[in-house]
Amino acid sequence: MSNPKIIDGKAFAENIRNKIAAQVASVQKAHGFTPGLAVVLVGEDPASKVYVRNKGEQTKASGMASFEYKLDATTSQETLLKLIDQLNKDAKVNGILVQLPLPKQIDAQAVINAIDPDKDVDGFHVVNAGRLATGGQGLVPCTPYGCLLLLKDRLGDLTGKHAVVIGRSNIVGKPMAQLLLNESCTVTIAHSKTKDLPGEVRRADIVVAAVGRPEMVKGDWLKEGAVVIDVGINRVEKDGKFRLVGDVDFQSCVARAGAITPVPGGVGPMTIAMLLHSTLVAACRQHGVELPK
C-alpha cells in the first residue's frame, strides 16, 4: 500500500496486538493471572463462524485464555441465559462476547443485558451505553473505538472537527457519534431518512460510513481533504466473481479524501484488536490492578 492516503488498519491493528501481548505477559509476571475471554456462538451463520474463529485465534496469540461455546441454532433463550450466568460467576472469564446476530427465538438485547456490565467487552450492555453517554468508566464498543484510534492517529486532536456518521446502529453508529462528541467534534448522525445525504457529507471533515450499503458514498460528496472511515463489509457479485466492498466508493473517494480506510484491511482488523484491549482492561479492573504501560 504505497499511497500515503490509505490508512493501513492491518498494520495498525498488528501493532496494538503486539503491545497487548507484552501487557498480558507483564500482568502474568507481576500479578499471576491470565486474562480470559469467552466467546459464545449460537447457530451456523458462516460469517459469524469466521469471526468467532479469528477472535479465538487472536486471543490465544496474545497470551490470553480463550473459552469458546458453540451452541445449536435451536438453543432456547433460557439455556443461553444459564450459560451467561455461569460465565458471569467464573473468575477465569474476564470478558464475555455473544456473537450477533442471534437466532429469532432469542431476544438479543435481553441476552446482552444479562452479561455482567464489567465483563461486557462488546460494550453493548445498557449500562455501558449509559456510561459512554454520561462520561463514566465503562467498556466501549470495539469497532467505533478502533475507528476513533485511526482518526486520532491521522488527525491528532479532533476538537471542533465536523464529523458525519452515516448509520445509527447500537453497534457502530450511535457509539461512534458519542465517542466523537466526547472528543469535542460537532457531530451529525445521518441515516436512511436523511433528506440530503450528499449535502451533509460535503460539510464533513470526518466521514464514518456504517450503513451496509455497498459503495454508497461517492467521491463528489466529499469535502477536499476529508478523512473517510469505511466500516462497511459488503459481499457483492460482479462479472460472476464475489468481492468485498465497503459502504464507500473507494475509487472515486480516494482522490478527494485526505485519508481513507480500504476494505478489506482498514477498520476490520481493528475490531478484534480493540476486543483484546477491552478484555485486558476488564481483567485488570476485576483484579484491581493498573493496566501495564
Instruction: Establish if 253 lies at the interface with ligand GUN (CB under 6 A).
Output: no
Catalytic, 45? Answer: no
241 belongs to the catalytic site: no
The residue among 142 and 211 lying less far from ligand GUN, judged by its C-beta, is: 142
Distance, in Å, from the CA atom of 90 to the CA atom of 84, rounded to the nearest integer, reads: 10
Is residue 122 flagged as an active site residue?
yes
The number of residues in the chain equals 293
| Contact flag: residue 100 with ligand GUN (CB under 6 A) | yes
The interface with ligand GUN within residues 126-165 (CB under 6 A) comprises: 142-143
Give the C-alpha distances (Å, rounded to integers) separating 126 from 3, 97, 170, 222, 229: 41, 15, 10, 34, 26
Near ligand GUN by CB under 6 A: residue from 171, 177, 210, 217: 171
Shortest Cβ 253–ligand GUN spacing (Å): 23
> What is the spatial distance between Cα 59 and Cα 31, in angstroms, rounded to a whole number?
19
**Least separation, in Å, of the C-beta of 39 and ligand GUN?**
8
Q: Which range touches ligand GUN (CB under 6 A), out of 2-10, 94-102, 220-228, 279-287?
A: 94-102
* Partners of residue 234 on adjacent β-strands: 245
Question: Does residue 38 interact with ligand GUN by CB under 6 A?
Answer: no
Residue 270 sits at φ, ψ, to 5 deg, of -70, -30
Cα–Cα dist 107/202, whole Å: 38
- Which one, 204 or 210, has the nearer CB to ligand GUN? 210
Q: What is the DSSP letter of 217?
A: B
Closest distance to ligand GUN from the beta carbon of 35 (Å): 18
> By C-alpha distance, which of 192, 183, 189, 233 is closest to 207?
189
| Residue in this structure with the C-alpha cell 503491545, named with its chain if needed | 19
Q: Which of 23, 119, 120, 122 is catalytic?
A: 122
Return the residue of 122, 200, 230, 247 that touches ligand GUN, per CB under 6 A: 122
Write out 168-214 in H/E/C secondary structure.
Answer: CCCCCHHHHHHHHHHCCCEEEEECCCCCCHHHHHHCCCEEEECCCCC
Residues of this chain that bind ligand GUN (CB under 6 A): 97-100, 122, 142-143, 171, 271
Q: List residues with catalytic annotation.
A: 55, 99, 122
